[in-house]
Amino acid sequence: MLTSPASTLRFPRLLLTGAAGFLGRELRPRLKTYCDVLRLSDRADLGTANPGEEIQPAALENKAQVLNLLTQVDAVVHLGGISTEQPWDDILAGNIMGMANLYEAARLKGVQRIVFASSNHVTGFYRQDEVVNTRMPPKPDGFYGLSKAFGEDLAQMYWDRWGIETVSIRIGSSTPEPKDRRMLATWLSHDDLERLVVAALTAPIVGHSIIYGMSDNQTTWWDNTQAQHIGYRPQDSSDVFRAAVEARQQHIDRQDPAAIYQGGAFVKATPHG
């Protein structure tokens, strides 16, 4: 956790969806620094509310619940929905219907800024020997990536038609440390995740902006030049883990699609269930 706030701006009430997930649990104590009240939502158990927190469970596919969820909210950090490759019906409910419900509720309730947890899997079928910028066409690597591409398009429409601003963060691999050589390119430290979310919340004007969520890694497949107006400056790097990662994974199967494409194992994941 950062030792001092990256911004002095403070929101009366922030909403964090998907607060029971891996990154939601990480951001829960961090985001409280930037608001008077942090409203937490998930369909899973969120435990007991801490001081300055509100807990409001909701199913994203339930339009009435989502409309109520966005009442008196100043901005949203939207991590809710399905976060891995899953059967289409599950993704349809959480990531398609849920996203539409969230934005329509934001329009009706007057919410003007959303930070959307998109994914690098929107462009997962670009090769690892390519550098992708935020204006290149999507190449989703599965139903999950496809749903995030839909979310970005929805955010664009709500900006164009109704002026709701969104920063779509194509999150790489936000883990305590990189697990393999792919993650040397995709890694996003938890401190840099906080820096990026706060920058996305507080940048003066963003319209609908797309930015890749990565730390200051030596190896990178993603060009964030067109998102510099957000003001995100990563301070961590996967390079401090490089020697250990390369020692663990000394050989790469160059015929393996997971080693060819940026989406890694997602390009060959089979939805289960």
Which amino acids are annotated catalytic? 144
Q: 135 and 168 in contact (C-beta within 8 Å)?
A: no
Q: 100 and 155 in contact (C-beta within 8 Å)?
A: no
Q: Which amino acid is located at 61 in the chain?
A: E
- Per DSSP, the three-state class of 263 is coil
Distance linking the first and last C-alpha atoms of the chain: 36
CB within 8 Å of 180: residues ≥ 6 apart:
245, 248, 249
Rounded to an integer, what distance in angstroms lies between the CA atom of residue 200 and that of residue 182?
Answer: 26
Handedness of CA 85, 181, 140, 105 (dihedral sign): positive
Burial class (CB in 10 A: 0-12, 13-18, 19+), 161: exposed
Q: List the structure tokens of 237.
A: 């790097």
Rounded to an integer, what distance in angstroms lies between the CA atom of residue 70 and that of residue 64?
Answer: 10
Rounded to an integer, what distance in angstroms lies between the CA atom of residue 213 and that of residue 183?
Answer: 12
Rounded to an integer, what distance in angstroms lies between the CA atom of residue 46 and that of residue 25?
Answer: 9
